[in-house]
Amino acid sequence: MAPRVLLVEDDASIREVTALGLVAGGFDVVTAADGPSALARFRADRPDVVVLDLMLPVLDGLTVCREIRTESTVPVVMLTARTDAIDVVAGLQAGADDYVRKPFELPELLARLRVALRHGRAGPGGGEARPGEPAGGQPPLRLGPLEIDEAAHQVRRGEAEVPLTRTEFRLLVALARRPGRVLTRDVLLDEVWGYDFLGDSRLVDVAVQRLRAKVEDRPAEPALILTVRGAGYRAASGAEQAGAAAAAGTPP
């Protein structure tokens, strides 16, 4: 079955041409021209990936993206005609996984969608794992007070599940697998987003910011995901993790 993409674009000519290109690229396409229609189609058609224009009538793309994120971890690729970095960052902070600038070449959009879908298929799977019982039978990763079940795509702090998007989860796993090791932004782009030649380091920086807001006790003073100035990011070392777990009252 062809993966379904919801294309949200208010410009009729861009919407039509892009939809034709996506169909030719192997996608089943549904479309919407404004924010309310986008949310209605999203809920009715349950797409595998969303292509979402930033500038929409009635409800803008940021609002639509935030609403989608309250319901789903489906990959979202934002379209933006703006060149200001602030607008790009705002889209990523709203929960978009990636972005493409207008005017864009269809092969670039297709490449990004295929990457998003490849990761999306590795997303949350069937069956619920109970705390301490990883779905894949492998011991969970641990990062301070966090228990990370890769097979179930679940993160827990004690009994509570920490809700992460698919991109945030992949980023956390990439770091937690190698505690204490510095990973450059280029390495994280390759491992988390699946490309380097199309990459933008802002994807990494904003994703780290969003992840810290969910897993750190004090995101402004992170103890689990640390910045190495001029180099990249690293997960806390074993000793640092033990301290973080102790501070949170969770056994390391």
What superfamily does domain 4-120 belong to in CATH? Answer: Response regulator (3.40.50.2300)
Reply yes or no on whether the pLDDT at 142 is more than 50: yes
Cα distance between residue 138 and residue 141, in whole Å: 9
Cα distance between residue 167 and residue 78, in whole Å: 14
Q: Which residue from 15, 40, 37, 190 is spatially nearest to 109, judged by alpha carbons?
A: 15
pLDDT of residue 151: 86
Q: Note the pTM of the prediction, 2 decimals.
A: 0.76
Mean pLDDT of 152-169: 90
Q: Which residue from 248, 128, 114 is spatially nearest to 194, judged by alpha carbons?
A: 114
Cα distance between residue 79 and residue 76, in whole Å: 10
The mean predicted confidence, pLDDT, of the chain is 86
pLDDT of residue 126: 32
With a CB cutoff of 8 Å and minimum separation 6, the contacts of 147 are: 131, 132, 140, 141, 155, 156, 157
Structure tokens at 17: 């041409």
pLDDT of residue 133: 44
Q: Outline which parts of the chain fall under CATH 3.40.50.2300.
A: 4-120
**51-76 per-position pLDDT tens digit:** 999 999 999 999 999 999 999 989 99
Q: Outline which parts of the chain fall under CATH 1.10.10.10.
A: 141-248
pLDDT of residue 87: 77
- Return the bridge partners of 210, or none: none
What are the backbone dihedrals phi and psi of residue 25, each rounded to the nearest 5 degrees, phi first?
A: -85, 5
| Matching CATH number, 141-248, of 1.10.150.130, 1.10.540.10, 3.30.2320.50, 1.10.10.10 | 1.10.10.10
Q: What is the DSSP letter of 225?
A: E
Sign of CA dihedral 173, 175, 180, 183: positive
Side chain identity, residue 132: G
Mind giving me the DSSP string for 127-159? Answer: S-PPTT--TTSSPPEEETTEEEETTTTEEEETT
